[in-house]
Amino acid sequence: MRDDFKIIIKSFDDKKIKLKASNSVSKDDFKDIKKGIKELAITNGPTRIENNALRNRQSMKKVELADSIEYIGDKAFYNCKELEDIYLPENLSYVSLDAFYLCKSLKFNEYENGQYLGSKNNPYLLLMNVIDGEVEEFNIHPDCRFIFALFAGTKIKEINIPSKVKEIHDIAFGIGTSLEKINVDKDNPYFLSEDGVLYSKDKKTLLAIPYLRKEPYIIPIEVENIECKPFGYPYLNYNTSNRVYYLAKKDNPFFLCVGGNLSDEKEIKLENGTEIIGPNAFVSSDYSVEKITFPNSVKVISKNAFLKCWLKEVNLNDGLEYIGENAFLRTTHVKEYKLYPSIKEIGSKAFDADDMYMNALFLFMGNEGQFNKIKLGESALKMKNVKFMEE
């Protein structure tokens, strides 16, 4: 075998096994490994560790990943209970929040009240956990690039994000924290903070509002997208109508729909002027809710907005531009959707195409050429169920 192999495995009988891999490393690469894996090194070129690639490899104690690897997928190292040491790639651009879930033996590098996973050259690459204590201001290490720690349940009121951080998980600063203010280094090219609120650098995406922020809040005019669920916050100034809650943007009191208290309601009634349905807005809404009609003002239905809902009738609007990933995942009682040429993108599994029970008919109110211009995520919908209403 040539020496440019990509995977080296050391088994528990201390034998070394060399495997070839493609551009990605998946669970199929290890299907013939019968002995327990003791150590694993991946070298020379792969760019991805796929979902579940090394799931349940409970004897594995050490992992080294090549700097070429940019992506670590969902549950890639799930339940590797004996895994103690892992060296992450320097060029990592994405790692799933649950990539290391149930890896209970991991050794961390500590800085102040944070626990980090690192690469060989940067011990503080990824903030994994926060050690709860009496500290109220939390400083993230200057070399950190990923924030995956959850701050819920801590006493931290203020957090300082350094210039190198490039990814923050969308539930890191959510409900149940003590946060009042988020600060971002002015030299960070990915994020900015204004009045303690976290945005993308161009300010087009609202990323996090501190849970205990007390000042009145109006969404800035620049904001076009929402990546958080600011619902149930004790001090936010919501506008309410028909038991649905909204945050305002300048002169529009109903700009962002964040959720509702819909017990015993048959229908979700949205106000005209609503432009965005926020992430997770109506996740697992009450069994009684059967119908929603979107006003023509709605442009964005965010990810997970109607995940696992019991809706039976969904009336989408002409003017809708974006449907996020998992937006109607497991909403299996709807028999028909109308889709309009105004739609520019439909996210992955927006309509649960992989679900054997999801057999809704999609009436596209245009022709096939118009439909083909829509950017479709993986398993966005069942193409065989699309009917074009114009030639």
Per-residue pLDDT band for 3 (boundaries 50, 70, 90) equals very low
Tell me: pLDDT of 218 over 90.
Answer: yes
Q: Tens of pLDDT along 264-276? A: 889 999 999 999 9
Tell me: pLDDT of 2 over 50.
Answer: no
Q: Tens of pLDDT along 136-152? A: 999 999 999 999 888 98
User: In the block, which residue shows the tokens 């669920």?
Assistant: 229
pLDDT, residue 15, reads 63
142 in Cβ contact with 114 (< 8 Å):
no
User: In the block, which residue shows the tokens 């649950």?
Assistant: 98
Mean pLDDT of 285-298: 91
**Whole-number average pLDDT of the chain:** 90
Q: Cα–Cα distance between 155 and 128 in angstroms, integer? A: 17
Q: Tens of pLDDT along 4-54? A: 446 777 665 566 777 766 688 888 888 877 667 888 888 777 889 999 999
In CATH, what is the architecture of 239-388? Alpha-Beta Horseshoe (3.80)
| CATH of the domain spanning 1-107 | 3.80.10.10
Per-residue pLDDT band for 115 (boundaries 50, 70, 90) equals very high
Tell me: pLDDT of 158 over 70.
Answer: yes
Strand, coil or helix: what is 371?
helix
pLDDT, residue 278, reads 96
State the pTM of this model.
Answer: 0.87
The pair phi, psi for residue 131, each rounded to 5°, is: -85, 115
